[in-house]
Structure 1
Amino acid sequence: MRTRIEVAPDSLFGPDNLPYGVFAPQRGPYRVGVRLGEAVIDLAVALDDPIFAAPSLNPFLAQGPARWREVRERVRQLADTEIPDEAVHSLAEVDLRLPIEVGDYVDFYASIDHATNLGRLFRPDAEPLLPNWRHLPVGYHGRAGTVVVSGTDIVRPRGQRRTDSGAPDFGPSKRLDIEAELGFVVGVGSDLAHPIEIDDFAEHVFGVALVNDWSARDIQAWEYQPLGPFLGKSFATSLSAWITPMAALESARIALPAQDPEPLPYLRAADPWGLDVALTVHWDGAAVSYPPYSRMYWSPAQMLAHLTANGAATRTGDLYASGTISGPDPDQRGSFIELSWGGSEPIHVNGQKRTFLEDGDEIVITASSPGRPDVRRIGLGEVRGRVWPARD
């Protein structure tokens, strides 16, 4: 028996999207699938290829760009035909897991609006941007082992916090925050001591996914000088269950905002580009912010080139994220420390005045980008998480 997957005309997950994930059908093992509308296509069955029977995208990603293009074209052809019944599953009836085995995780600080806002908050009498910010994509190494799939509950972290006396105490974070970000997944790695050239981005990066890099601002504020983020960031980073291939975002490419001063030669691309991706942050069901990725100062290719400029190796499944996405307007800020201006300007959420996250709060970040002229938009799924009380 065969079936044709019907996709609603206004769906964000039509045949021009086709994001990849790892799913388990009822009473079945985890395996690789592609989303089409409200269905998941089991690629191991539909393409008769055992590499997609793996519980991770990594084996497929390691095959490289030519293989990525071949499979995408075959799936697009399937979307226009009838597919074996046993290869089609309802999205509502499958379990989704982390789609990649994360090797390393790097988080950047690539939004000029976010960096400027935090500079004004933390250094009100000084220049908001530090001297190096316009010369390189600032970043730090995160903790790959605490990257979790969308829908995973987030336990409030505990750590040292500075008290009014100036001495620290230890307890649950009182200023738990989010960071709305876009993550980039490395498909083909690079060898040690062999930097990735900026124009070779497409040979290495497979796709993008939504990221929420949860942040404990009070823990972070006490610990981050002089070496930067540590326990205030490493307790949880949520990743979407769906990886959107870069091939689906061709129509989302836009010119990169002007960079002044001109970057050093290793950060100059032959065709500098950014992405037109519109995000929405939902707090307990209420839309509170609309961060625009189109405003990002540093491009995905520049971040990858800088990440490897010192000869650092990359591996299949490595994840690097943009850092908080913010725009110039108050309702475009991608973190609550910005939205509430350090807690001094409460946000109205469902009739309540709020600043930072309370136990029981749920955050959902969604995003979309332009499709082809005859396609409405492309959806990037969602990244969701609910806050639970700290554990004793």
Structure 2
Amino acid sequence: MSTHTTAVTVPGQCPEVTRYLPWTDPQFRIDPYPYYARALAEAPIMRDDHDGSFVLTRYEDLMHYGRLPSVRIAPEWEKAGAWRVLLDMALGHDEPGHTRLRRLTSKWFTPKRVREWAETTAAITDRLLDGLGQDGLVDGSDLAVEVTHRTVCHILNIPADDHDEVRRKMRQAMPILSARPSQQDFERAEEALDELRGRTAALIEAKRKNPGEGLLGSLVAAQDRGEMTAAELLATTLFFYVVGHMDATYLICSGLHLFTRRPDLFDAFRENPDKHEAFVAELARFDAPEPVVTRATTEDLVIHGVHVPAGRSLRLMLGAANHDPAVFDNPDEFDFTRPPEQTRNLTFSFGSHGCQGRLLAEAEIRVVFERIAARFSRVELTAEPDIRNTDASRHYFTLPLRLHS
């Protein structure tokens, strides 16, 4: 048995999770941070009587238990309905399969390559901003989705005019990952992923006929060499094609929304180009787009005196850990001047399963803000945004803005 705390288990030490994190409560889904704060202070581990899982919130605990060799990712994807497809790509594998598959895509997301992709993002953003009317009206969500999806499609070297349809299907597929998915969520996700798998298969077939350059051509060649299976090719391509825009899109929207509420932050961003990367890092800490990851235990653990049997799920609350006052001073304040030791957020996960596209996402966010800041002096909200979140993912459906010259 692996232990981090060796006290004897006392049932009262492990409260039922919905006392602190009411998964389906609309207010919790819009603003979970007050709920996280209470859980961080009073309940470092909670149990979910609905499915027998355990929930952790503290930064130190996530970093420790999330990295244990006995805490695995693969079994959890078996429970993910239509998202089981990801069992066939790096994200669904533990070692050694994870490293084998990740190496096939890693060269496309090095710092040098990301600098190239950032130039693509800038050109796309400029073109879309050029198309705005004199009134400066734009839906920030539309802008963010189109910029990020087109950038990913450029990397894959595939057509990029289907961003609206991909976004619609992803909105349909994501609720299944919440702690309380409904039967309708499973059915809608199956329908959405079935269509997206079909689109992805067609892209792969077209690439076989016209290889060209790009990530997808590289993956097709890897399969032809016997370095990945057909299922792994489909799952890996599907992931980049339909998921590659999501976190950056949300954080672009979150940042633009923040600029409407805090014009001083937009001014600070415009006036401090040397702080742009720090600003994006703080934004990622402040409002994680996917505030939870799930793992599975393969041996018994004792966590804060609570016995966690092998074969149980652990829900690791990244969004809560990013606001842990033991790590971040004044965690509920947006402060892009934090010292380096307080910028290590977990938004893009951690350890071997850290997000491979993190550098790209951060570059896309920064570049979109920079291109807007170069042209406009103020970002105004013209109507209330349509925000639809679950406990596991956050989404701007609309973000009506006016950009002032």
TM-score normalised by the chain length of structure 2: 0.25
**Larger helix fraction of residues:** 2
| Greater relative contact order (Cα < 8 A, sep 6+) | 2
TM-score normalised by the chain length of structure 1: 0.26
